[in-house]
Amino acid sequence: MVEKVNIPEISQKHLHGIKDLTIEDINKILDLSSFFKLSNKEKDKNHPILKGRTIINLFFEPSTRTLISFEIAAKRLGADVINMNIEGSSLRKGESLHDTAQTLGAMNPDLVVIRHGVDDASKKIAEIVNCPVINAGEGINEHPTQALLDAYTIIDNKRSLENITVSICGDLEHSRVARSNYYLLKKMKSNVRFVYPEFFKPKDLDKYEVETFTSLEEGIADADIVMMLRIQNERISDMKLPSKELYFEQFGLTYEKLKLAKPEALVLHPGPINRNVEIEDRLADDIDKSVINEQVENGVAVRMACLSMMVK
Ligand code: CP
């Protein structure tokens, strides 16, 4: 028997970034995610509250976790989902993003999910289509649903975000995951540290009120959460990186280095992982230390919560 669920309102029509959300919005999304996480363990995972609604997933950059979990989330809510095939679309005949959005908007979708390489792509699309838009990761700006699922995962394990120390480590310069997590964790009163090798120092560092470290060992000392980031090779053209072996030696997370964090510290990574570059292979799979698979599982529940709250 499918349990009836109350869907709360949030303050925003679109989900462009965590920056726009209130603490109340975040708590409502996380509370509703708890409901969907439980229901996702049932045989019947469906809550057809979006029956008859149409959702378009418009992914201009590769994705496994975000795209598939948005699709699963929409289907479990009963929506009709279209994953637009960018390679087979008229974009490849030179149609602009503006005209693509206008064309899709004319088909009356109820929500558009967009991933794009440009920092304000979700806002540009929202100005054209007549429905809510969710940013599924854009440029180096934000990846709000990733931060929400990370927050959910931390709370699930640590009970609260308040007063915990979260060290966000690695390619801070190119990471939209780091930026969304920063905004969320600061709103929820966590202590946030940015830990990066000098060549990944964020150019916009003066925007963030964080402790900064250029040594991984110092940056994760006594941390509750060690959040490792993927090296965003696709956004790096103007710098020479050290070899993978040297990066791992200096900035990869190992069992040995993790001993410097709190004994019960947890390891997060948004994925996909560069194994034995950002994180020791065995550590990534060690379910006593790593919650990477929980992050993926929670992504479905969080995206069900976001879709059900935003489709009107
Ligand atoms: N974390 C994340 O955005 O992964 P994908 O690129 O696989 O969606």
9 CA distance to ligand 1 middle (Å): 27
**Neighbouring-strand partners of residue 225:** 166, 266
| Cross-sheet strand order for the sheet of 54-59 | 80-83, 54-59, 111-116, 133-138
- Ligand 1 atom at minimal distance to the Cα of residue 61: 6
Give the pLDDT score at 240: 84
SS3 165: strand
Provide the pLDDT for residue 121: 96
- Residue ID of nearest Cα to ligand 1 atom 1: 270
Show the beta-strand stretches assigned E in the chain: 54-59, 80-83, 111-116, 133-138, 165-169, 191-195, 211-213, 225-228, 266-268
Pocket test for ligand 1, best of 59, 65, 71 (most atoms within 8 A of CB): 65
Please indicate whether residue 123 or residue 4 has the higher confidence score (pLDDT).
123
Mutate which of 61, 64, 83 for ligand 1? The one with the most ligand atoms within 8 Å of its CB, which is 64
Residue 171 — pLDDT band, cuts 50, 70, 90?
very high
**CB atoms closer than 10 angstroms to residue 220:** 27
Query: What local confidence, expressed as pLDDT, does residue 1 receive?
Result: 44
Residue 3: the pLDDT is 62
CA of 297 to the centre of ligand 1 (A): 13
Spacing, Cα 263 to ligand 1 middle (Å): 28
CA-nearest residue for atom 6, ligand 1, is 63
Question: What's the CA-to-centroid distance between 4 and ligand 1, angstroms?
Answer: 31
Q: Which ligand 1 atom sits nearest the alpha carbon of residue 69? A: 8
What confidence score (pLDDT) does residue 2 get?
52
Round to whole Å and give the CA distance between 35 and 40.
9
Q: What is the pLDDT of residues 276-297, one digit of tens each?
A: 999 999 999 999 999 999 999 9
Ligand 1 atom nearest the C-alpha of 62 is: 6
pLDDT at position 194:
98
Contact 278, 252 (CB under 8 A): yes
Contacts of 114 (CB under 8 A, 6+ apart): 58, 59, 60, 121, 122, 125, 133, 134, 135, 136, 138
Q: For 78-116, what is each residue's pLDDT tens digit?
A: 999 999 999 999 999 999 999 999 999 999 999 999 999
- Output 221 or 236, whichever has higher pLDDT: 221
Going by CA atoms, what residue is nearest to atom 3 of ligand 1?
A: 66
Distance in Å, CA 66 to ligand 1 centroid: 5
Q: What is the pLDDT of residues 1-58, one digit of tens each?
A: 456 789 999 999 999 999 999 999 999 999 999 999 999 999 999 999 999 999 999 9
> How large is the angle between the packed helices 292-310 and 65-76, nearest 10 degrees?
50
Alpha carbon of 63 to ligand 1 centroid (Å):
5
Pocket of ligand 1 (CB under 6 A): 63-66, 137, 146, 270-272
- pTM value is 0.97
The pLDDT score that the predictor gives to residue 237 is 82
Separation of CA 284 and ligand 1 centre (Å): 16
222, exposed or middle or buried, with CB in 10 Å at 0-12, 13-18, 19+?
Answer: exposed
Residue type, 218: E
Determine the pLDDT at residue 239.
Answer: 81
pLDDT digits (tens, 9 = 90+) for 229-272: 999 988 888 888 899 999 999 999 999 999 999 999 999 999 99
Residues 103, 207: Cα–Cα separation, whole Å: 37
The C-alpha atoms of residue 214 and residue 99 are separated, in whole angstroms, by 44
80-83 and 111-116 strand pairing: unpaired
Q: Which residues contact 282 (CB under 8 A, 6 or more apart)?
A: 255
Ligand 1 atom having least distance to the Cα of 64: 7
Closest CA to 101 of 133, 63, 70: 133
Q: How far is the CA of 5 from the centre of ligand 1 (A)?
A: 28
Q: Is 150:142 a contact under the CB 8 Å cutoff?
A: no
Q: What's at 277, amino acid-wise? A: V
